[in-house]
Amino acid sequence: MSSSDQWCSETVSAAYAALGLADKIGGMASNGNTYEKNARSIGAWVSSKNYIPSAGDILITHDSNGDRHTYCVISCDGHTIKTIAGGGSSIHHSSISVGSGRITGFVVPEW
C-alpha cells in the first residue's frame, strides 16, 4: 500500500475493530462492496439516498468511475452529512448533501 492508495474502508474497519464493534457492521471489510454485502447479511444496509444518518453509521459513496468510498458519519443536520475517512496520505473530514447522487447507501449498526 502506498500513500496514494485509498484506504477508506480499512480505516473505518480499524475504528470499529478497536472499539470491539466489528460485529455491529457485519465484520471487517476492505472495500465498499464487502461492506454492503456484510451489512445486507445482518439487515443493516439502507440504500436510500435520502436516509438521515446518525453518528457512527457508515456512508458508502461512488464516484464517476464507479469506485466506492467509505466514510464514518460524524453528524447530520438533516441536510449535510459530515464524515471522517482515510485515503491518500491523511485522515480527512468531508461532507456530502443528503440525497446526493453519489450516495450508494449506509451501514446502520444496531446499537
SS3 string, the chain, reads CCCCCCCHHHHHHHHHHHCCCHHHHCCCCCCHHHHHHHHHHCCCEECCCCCCCCCCCEEEEECCCCCEEEEEEEEECCCEEEEEEEECCEEEEEEEECCCCCEEEEECCCC
Three-point CA angle 54, 55, 57, nearest 5°: 70
Q: pTM score, two decimals?
A: 0.86
Distance CA 71, CA 85 (A): 5
pLDDT digits (tens, 9 = 90+) for 6-61: 677 788 888 888 888 888 888 877 778 888 998 999 999 999 999 999 999 999 99
pLDDT digits (tens, 9 = 90+) for 80-111: 999 998 877 788 899 999 999 999 999 999 88
* C-alpha cell at position 91: 485522515
- Residue, of 13 and 76, whose pLDDT is higher: 76
